[in-house]
Structure 1
Amino acid sequence: MIHRMTAGVATLAALLAATPAWAQSSNRGLQTVADGAKVTGHMTIDFNSRSVRNNIGLDKYSIEALTVADLMAYSGSAQRKPEDTITYSLRIDVNNPQNPSQIAKDVAILRGETPIDEGGRYQPESGNLRLDIVKGQQSSGKFGGVIQGREVTRWWELGEQINRASQAADKLYSRTVNGKVVTIQVKNPDPLSFQGLVLAPGPFSFLPQTRVSGNLDYDYELGNWLTDNNGISFQYAVGNQAYTDKVTGSIRYVEEEGNFTDAKGQSRNYTGYYDYNLRFNEPVVKPEEAFFGGENKDADVEAFFGTVEQNQAGLYGRVYYLDSEDGCRREKNESGQMECIGPTRSEVYWDLKPVKLTYSQLGNWFKLEPLMIGPFNDE
């Protein structure tokens, strides 16, 4: 749980008044996040567009203290009208770089709209999505580019998608596990694509304007997310030095029931979770088709998505989901039976661990994640 600032208010206030919050302590961006740091938080998603009890049809994502180590924390909400627009209002608290136990609240706001066109393209610049610094010397930075959402977002369309996938060419994904190259195949993956995406600068100088490119591919058969060998690239500059970080790996979905203890020490139930295994700047591994048998062996799949070698620079852990279908709308499934079109509510809990990441790397990833909450959480 965040230790809220109870002392040193005047010192931090003077710091914020003297200079923009995002211009503080640029050297910190190259420092490694402290061992044991966590990413924790809670989000409630109300899928009102799936409910028979709500005629407004706006899906709402309510974030409670998404705390990114001792860097910053989000709170607020986003509302999405499916296939039309998503509107953000997320407040950002920041940790004092000179004394991370001190926290300044509501220093910045991520706000504005992101229109969604007929092709499922999220376009933040068209809706003036921006990051506003509202304390200290005020400033505003805009997001740009495009996020191409997944092609299929409704389960009752999945049968057709999987049928098409069975006729499509495989795409191979490889990674090194315990010194061995492990390769799996996915039929017709659906990419969540970042096309010239620009992350607005802030709320620190070591989180400058950043360009993001690449794909996070979705596997409909198993419900997993994967990166190909190109990964997801983040390009930015700190001071006069240019940096490019490449994120590769997987986010595996596990459908099972259980319980865990959240960041506040409360026991929580879950109906499934995403298992993060994302690595930063790992050596490139090329799929060797000549040595691939053409089928996913259980041992290779388990190894590919396994939790070994989590001492490499990366982001690991789980994001838990507790889904419910109260008052859901129903459609006919492939058997002709009426079935809920998806959860009407999801309680989401982050429990992630950054390993050997710099503050710039971690901050950039968690400026990207809020932009993905719509397509990433579609069923």
Structure 2
Amino acid sequence: MTSTTLDPGAPTAGERDLTYSEAVREAIGQAMEADDRVFMLGEDIGVYGGAFGVSGDLFHRFGGERIRDTPISELGIVGAAVGAALAGMRPIVEIQFSDFTNQAMDQIVNQAAKIHYMLGGAASVPMVLRAPLGSGTGAAAQHSQSLEAWFAHVPGLKVVMPATPADAKGLLLSAIDDPNPVIFLEHKLLYRTSGPVPVEPLRVPLGRTAVHRRGADLTVVATGVMVSRALDAAAVLADEGVDVSVLDPRTLTPLDDAPILEDVSRTGRALLVQEAPGHAGFTAEIAARITESPTLYRLLAPVRRLSGLDAPIPYAPQLERASVPQVDDIVDAALTLMKES
């Protein structure tokens, strides 16, 4: 079977190339133009343009009332957003590093995630919390973590991890529309990557897995920055005679597992790739769903996970790189899995 690349990456009519950060900014701008209830709050998002430059010129376009610079208090920022959402607004919170959500976990986990349930559906919290995560920028242990499994474990939160500029825009627009709190995690290394993005404010529905490549021999499920690395690895593996599928859940909660189970049933092999440490990582949930379903009986080899080391992210560039999966690591893991069949 010849593999099929489903996302060729070339702009078509109504598209043009944008960077990931530009796509996020465009989504916020289009949402604010369409709905006066949408506003943004966070540290240094005003004249400075955001720690990673994502908010850019939004302050000059919409003013300080709707692009609100805040004090350095994550607890206060998220608390204000929860209150605004309960009052009918649609806040977008930017936390400078996902690691800093630690300071606001009570508001995220005990308030935003639970209010709708605890009030019997009488109130909703339509809030989006955006946060950059991941390693690769030399930011060391306290600014480089991948904490998506924390949030995916909490009932009441939706968790999104876009891997492409088009998904970043489309999923963010859907997240802003959603009546529930959404944790929107953006990998820092993706901000400068580029790809085709629709000009119009087209939504990518939450809870739909993307199939980027379909192959015959092995299914790779990857999240965040690992999606592009998995696609690069698939190209290398093709030269080795191994035909690989690459799937991206995009939304961790709710998880669309049907395409994953279908593809693994077809190939008989599953390699699950994440940057976060393996212990209790999110891909363990995917592994469980494979082995708890009839897909188990179609496996030709055990499910294999490839994850970051169970250690804090080092500062030294060589050690930082060695602590999380790279393209060569994905290739090696895939070849090992093929030999186990």
Would the TM-score normalized by the shorter structure come out above 0.5?
no
Q: TM-score w.r.t. structure 2 length?
A: 0.24
Larger fraction in strand:
1
For normalisation by structure 1, the TM-score amounts to 0.23
Normalized per residue, the structure richer in helix is 2
